[in-house]
A and B are shown apart, each in its own frame.
Chain A
Amino acid sequence: MSKASPELISLYTQDSAALTLKWLGKPLKPKEDHRLVRGRGAFVDDVQLPRMAYAAFLRSPYGHARIKGIDISRAKSMPGVLLVWTGDDIKKRMRPLPQATPPPARNAIDYPLAVDKVRFQGEPVAMVVAESRYLAEDAANQIDVDYEPLPAVMDAEKALEPGSPWCTRRSDPT
């Protein structure tokens, strides 16, 4: 932490009698820490609002697989479940996520929920919204996904090799 120079100090003391060096040249205790060390941070997860619902995601166990079908019927009929969405529901409602990378990576078509296939282990495949987190997770576990596993690449250099499997969808076939 840098200290105020003597010149600066004299400047302040000359120019403004009222201005004391209360803040400069010394470490300051962060104001917010007083609530944080007492467990009163009010993080997003601490906020309770009326009629709040909870989302849980079903994620892919495969690094690369075609989604042949998703059966959400059991999940949808469970008590407390408000909504179940898959990639098809998302695709109907939004355009692919904008890509910040330069082409050709920018040509990848990407949605918040997997459409047609999964491209990494843990990719969200379905979303359940329910009255509690426990119910949302219960229902997510009742979704049946029929996967056809595809070759996955675990290594960045191997991904560059000719004949390495494509994993992203592309908006144009270049």
Chain B
Amino acid sequence: MSEGQELVHVRVRVNGQPYEADVEPRTLLIDFLRDELGITGPHIGCDTGHCGACTVILNGRSVKSCMVLAVQADGSEILTVEGLEKDGQLHPLQEAFWENHALQCGYCTPGQLMSAYFLLGRNPNPSEDEIRKAIEGNLCRCTGYVNIVKAIKAAALKMSSPRAG
């Protein structure tokens, strides 16, 4: 912490768990999650809002957490990739990404998953165009978009036919 910086108390719920910490006002949400709270699923790819590796769900909306200050997230509910799994069961999106080889190095994957999660929450049956539009803010340097789109489609199908999986 540098001198002369007044610390601000921030309280959030991440994946259902309450957290609080004192941070510098300039602390980015992604740094707060990763460095203060040790939640390292969301990654930093560019720090400039381009790559989407840091995407999380903030109060129900997908955000790039390098574009949000931790103090702006005070009092909010955050979902990260770590929160997708329920009782040791992978979320259908996680299953589908695995099943369809929608990742290679895995660095962009947490962001892709959260963008896809946000999409399916609003549009349970998206077209290929809608899927591509939804992940346009998530860059994959392994360039595996075809399989990512396939995986999101597969997950949508599975989630819209309950008890099928």
Contacts and interface: CB of A to CB of B under 8 A. Distances in A.
Interface string A22-58: 0000010110111011111111011010000000000
23 contacts: A32-B106, A33-B97, A33-B106, A37-B90, A37-B97, A37-B98, A38-B41, A38-B82, A38-B90, A38-B94, A39-B42, A39-B81, A39-B110, A40-B82, A43-B40, A43-B107, A45-B44, A46-B34, A78-B2, A79-B2, A133-B31, A134-B2, A134-B24
Interface of A: 27, 29-30, 32-34, 36-43, 45-46, 48, 78-80, 132-135, 138
A46 to B, nearest CB: 4
B3 interface: yes
Contacts of A33: 97-98, 101, 103, 106
A34 B40 CA distance: 16
A29 B99 contact: yes
Interface SS of chain A = loop
Nearest to A47: B40
Contact of A29 (B42, B81, B98, B109): B98
A128 to B, nearest CB: 13
B42 to A, nearest CB: 7
B103 A135 contact: no
Contacts, number: 68
A48 B40 CA distance: 10
A30 B142 CA distance: 15
Interface of B: 1-3, 24, 26-27, 31, 34, 38, 40-44, 80-82, 84-85, 90, 94, 97-99, 101, 103, 106-107, 109-110, 113
A80 B1 CA distance: 8
Given A38-B90, A39-B41, A138 B113 contact: no
Nearest to B99: A29
Contacts of B81: 37-39
A43 B43 contact: yes
Contacts of B40: 39, 42-43, 45-46
A136 B43 CA distance: 20
Contacts of B1: 132
Contacts of A41: 106-107, 109
Contacts of B85: 38
Given A33-B97, A33-B106, A39 B2 contact: no
Nearest to B97: A37
Contact of B94 (A27, A37, A46): A37
Contacts of A40: 41, 82
Given A32-B106, A37-B113, A134-B2, A45 B90 contact: no
